[in-house]
Amino acid sequence: MEVVKLNKIYIIGMKAIVSLGSNIILKLNKGFISRINEIKYKVSPQNIYGISFIEDIRNIKREAKFTYMIGVEVKKNFNIPPAMEFFEIKKSNYLKYKLKSKDLFKEYENIFFEICKNNLEIGITKIIEINGDQNIIYISIE
């Protein structure tokens, strides 16, 4: 795990309130993929972003509800398709973490262990998963 600085990224996508064990994420992902061609000004269409907004990663449970957004990076926020939203990921420092398994709950436990071990401060956590980036996730830190 290393600390990296990510530049500002603009995302257009779809979001929902979900939990880790929920099939809503899968349905949202399928719905988004079927409509991705409606989005103009895509930067790298092969990179699908999954963004989780978790109030406190230290208290996450499998059934905990959080906001999840799936989207693609765009150059501008023009022509947002119906039922989609625009989101700006601020330029900030992030922990870069390579997933070791498909069990996200276990991965979040490992991430929390690393955060505690390194005494890092986190607030409302934005977890950014980039599909086209070898199962790397970025966790916002303050």
Q: What is the count of structural domains for the chain?
A: 1
CATH code: domain of residue 99: 3.20.80.10
Which of the listed ranges 5-14, 114-123, 132-141 does the model predict with the highest average pLDDT? Answer: 5-14
Tokens read off for 59: 């208290």
Write out the DSSP string of 90-142: PSEEEEEEE--SS-HHHHHHHHHHHHHHTT---SSEEEEEETTSTTEEEEE--
Tokens read off for 53: 């907004």
Residue type, position 125, single letter: T
pLDDT tens sequence across 29-54: 899 999 999 999 999 888 888 887 76
Output helix, strand, coil percentages for the chain, rounded to the nearest 5: 25, 40, 40
Domain span holding position 136: 2-140
Q: What is the mean pLDDT of the chain?
A: 77
pLDDT tens sequence across 75-117: 987 789 999 999 988 888 887 877 777 776 677 677 767 666 6
The DSSP letter of residue 81 is P
